[in-house]
């Protein structure tokens, strides 16, 4: 007889809304969050990753609103660093073996408390940051253990606008969002 899986925990909107309004530092895993988790290799062995342009605009909007955005990834390969540079991400931590320790150092460097830190992940290795994140967010296609422990499970999958979805949720109550959704975005789209 197959085991019955417990349903994924989803918080009521009012509880999430309070946590979302406190976010000042958004830390993103890369593979499986900003990408679909696939790794493509070119003929010379170079790593190629696909990033969603809507996520890029979401990151730009968050930066404009004063949210510090950082990348924190165990992977390497150059594509992540290039994407971070393109988006003006000042903190791009790659090849990280101990995510909680790296996140703690980043929080210390930026003088950001756990309570104002959100982390978006997609797999069980991201569960380790739970004690360091005031808001743990999972993509829709994240591993079940992460979705069960996450404070918020997004509706979009990694690499398919998940970060943009979160950006809109964070920005909806702000004047900036009302302005952009009424008048549009005039800066470049990344």
Long-range contacts of 14-19 (CB under 8 A, 24+ apart): 16/151, 16/152, 16/169, 17/173, 19/118, 19/134, 19/135, 19/151, 19/152
Q: Is the pTM of this model over 0.75?
A: yes
d(CA 156, CA 177) in angstroms, rounded, equals 20
Domains (ranges, CATH) in the chain?
23-182 (3.40.50.1000)
| Mean pLDDT (whole number) for 36-59 | 89
pLDDT > 70 fraction of the chain, expressed in percent and rounded: 86
> pLDDT digit string (tens) for 132-189?
999 999 999 999 999 999 999 999 999 999 999 999 999 988 888 888 877 776 666 6
What's the confidence (pLDDT) of residue 24?
Answer: 94
Is pLDDT at 2 greater than 50 in this prediction?
A: no
| Mean pLDDT (whole number) for 86-101 | 95
The DSSP element (H or E) to which 92 belongs, if any, is: strand 91-93
pLDDT, greater one: 23 or 185: 23
């Amino acid at each position: 007889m197959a085991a019955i899986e417990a349903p994924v925990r989803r918080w009521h909107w009012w509880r999430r809304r309070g946590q979302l309004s406190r976010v000042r530092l958004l830390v993103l895993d890369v593979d499986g969050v900003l990408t679909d988790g696939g790794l493509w290799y070119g003929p010379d062995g170079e790593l190629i990753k696909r990033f969603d342009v809507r996520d890029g605009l979401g990151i730009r909007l968050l930066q404009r609103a004063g949210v510090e955005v950082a990348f924190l990834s165990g992977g390497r390969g150059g594509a992540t660093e290039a994407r971070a540079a393109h988006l003006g991400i000042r903190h791009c931590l790659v090849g990280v073996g101990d995510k909680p320790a790296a996140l703690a150092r980043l929080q210390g460097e930026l003088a950001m408390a756990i309570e104002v830190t959100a982390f978006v992940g997609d797999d069980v290795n991201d569960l380790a940051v739970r004690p360091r994140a005031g808001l743990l967010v999972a993509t829709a296609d994240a591993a079940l253990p992460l979705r069960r422990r996450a404070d918020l499970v997004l509706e979009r999958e990694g690499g398919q606008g998940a970060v943009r979805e979160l950006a809109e949720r964070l920005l909806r109550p702000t004047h900036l969002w009302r302005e952009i959704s009424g008048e549009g975005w005039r800066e470049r789209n990344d």
